[in-house]
Amino acid sequence: MKNKTINWFKDIYGDSEGVSVFFAPGRVNLIGEHTDYNGGHVFPCALEIGTYGAIRLRDDNNLRFYSMNFPEKGEISSSLDKVLSGDELIYHRENDWANYPKGVLWAFAQHSFLKKYNIKDEHALINRGMDILFFGDIPNGSGLSSSASLEVLMAYMVKEMFGLEISLKEISLLCQYAENKYIGVNCGIMDQFAVAMGRKGYGIFLDTATLEYEYAPINLVGKKIVIVNSKKRRGLNDSKYNERRSQCEEALKRLQSVMPIKTLGDLSKEEFESHKDLINDDTLICRARHAVYENQRTIEAMKSLNNKDIARFGGLMKESHISLRDDYQVTGVELDTLVDLAWRQEGVIGARMTGAGFGGCTVNIVNEDCIQDFIKEVGEGYKEKIGYEAEFYVVDIGGGPALL
């Protein structure tokens, strides 16, 4: 991939002297959905698919971005002065995908990470323009975090090229800041954290209330993770994502009138059940119930993995999907069809939707010797019911961002 990326760079920018190539992964969440903005736990892992970036610093302040995934958008240009000074404070629709790397540069200037250098003009630390070519092999809008991958890649390249002392954890926070404040999606920390902190062969059990985390080895002896793309595109921006988030905030506020809790993740199931009537709204009760139960399921899932009880892990994945379908209502006919079919196949340990929902992908744990049949049966059943084909990826757990 490195040579391919360098060759593309050469085609677009004329020559490829002095180019460096970097990579950042996508992620899949095994369990713990819509818990990250509720102070709960998540359990994602990085993938081997992701985003590649070829970068070369310039002698002036110009910024040029090109994506092999969006050749029709051509070269998108801007300048460091504009982005860092805040002139390009806002998302420009016509900049399309390039808002992500621009947003990251903007976040470097806006956020306090550069302040620790204790110099008068910390923006001067990023003091040269850049030519960058991107290529991603994560299907866009599939819920595997192509945007977090692009953001973390951009931040990591800037760190390496300018020698900035920013940790991977700080990179994830910086990128979440860019996504919240520049792109305008009120996402939690899971995606950026999973991408920045990924470790090959490990899942990341993260407490989003404290950002304490633990790497958990995923030893799926004789089993594989199979991701199924419903091909129903999920634009976070257009989705009901922000609405779900405000509903949880409202439910929390109502509970806080009598309970000293900071987040829904502070509640046990029992505490929730004995106080839920205070929420006094059926929809809000459902949303909050998902947040509370899903957090507890994620904690239990981690325990079952430690006890090598993969069957229980799979059972919890199923409960997670049902709760996302009935209480959180973020699945939809495409994802429900995929998991209904999956649950009926031989050799399936667990299956659920993954990511924000409203389309995107499912994650499945399948016995290796049943994968061919799984793909055939689920593929045919899906096509018959939905009318178009799903896509299947048998994946391995990859590492975090790297210079290639």
The catalytic site residues sit at: 191
* CB closer to ligand GLA, 36 vs 327: 36
* CB closer to ligand GLA, 338 vs 375: 338
CB of 379 to ligand GLA, least distance (A): 25
**Token couple for 314:** 């799979």
Q: Does 36 bind ligand GLA (CB under 6 A)?
A: yes
* Rounded distance between C-alpha atoms, residue 245 and residue 277, angstroms: 20
* CB closer to ligand GLA, 49 vs 187: 187
CB of 39 to ligand GLA, least distance (A): 12
* Rounded distance between C-alpha atoms, residue 207 and residue 265, angstroms: 9
Q: Does 355 bind ligand GLA (CB under 6 A)?
A: yes
DSSP letters of 19-61?
-EEEEEEEEEEEE--S-GGGT-EEEEEEEEEEEEEEEEE-SSS
Contact partners, residue 235, CB within 8 Å, separation at least 6: 141
Candidate list 98, 190, 252, 301; residue touching ligand GLA; CB under 6 A:
190
CB of 159 to ligand GLA, least distance (A): 22
* CB closer to ligand GLA, 68 vs 155: 155
Q: Does 191 bind ligand GLA (CB under 6 A)?
A: yes
CB of 33 to ligand GLA, least distance (A): 4
Contacts to ligand GLA from residues 205-234, by CB under 6 A: none
Are 236 and 185 in contact by the 8 Å Cβ rule? The answer is yes
* CB closer to ligand GLA, 26 vs 399: 26
Count of residues that interact with ligand GLA, criterion CB under 6 A: 10
**Token couple for 20:** 């460096």
- The count of other CB atoms within 10 Å of the CB of residue 25 is 30
Extended beta strands in 314-379, E state: 348-354, 361-367
Tell me which stretch binds ligand GLA (CB under 6 A): 11-19, 96-104, 184-192, 276-284: 184-192
- The count of other CB atoms within 10 Å of the CB of residue 120 is 6
Tell me which stretch binds ligand GLA (CB under 6 A): 32-40, 93-101, 271-279, 280-288: 32-40
* Rounded distance between C-alpha atoms, residue 3 and residue 9, angstroms: 10
Residue found under tokens 């509970």: 255
Q: Does 334 bind ligand GLA (CB under 6 A)?
A: no
* Rounded distance between C-alpha atoms, residue 73 and residue 170, angstroms: 31
- Which residues make up the interface to ligand GLA (CB under 6 A)? 33-34, 36-37, 187-188, 190-191, 355-356
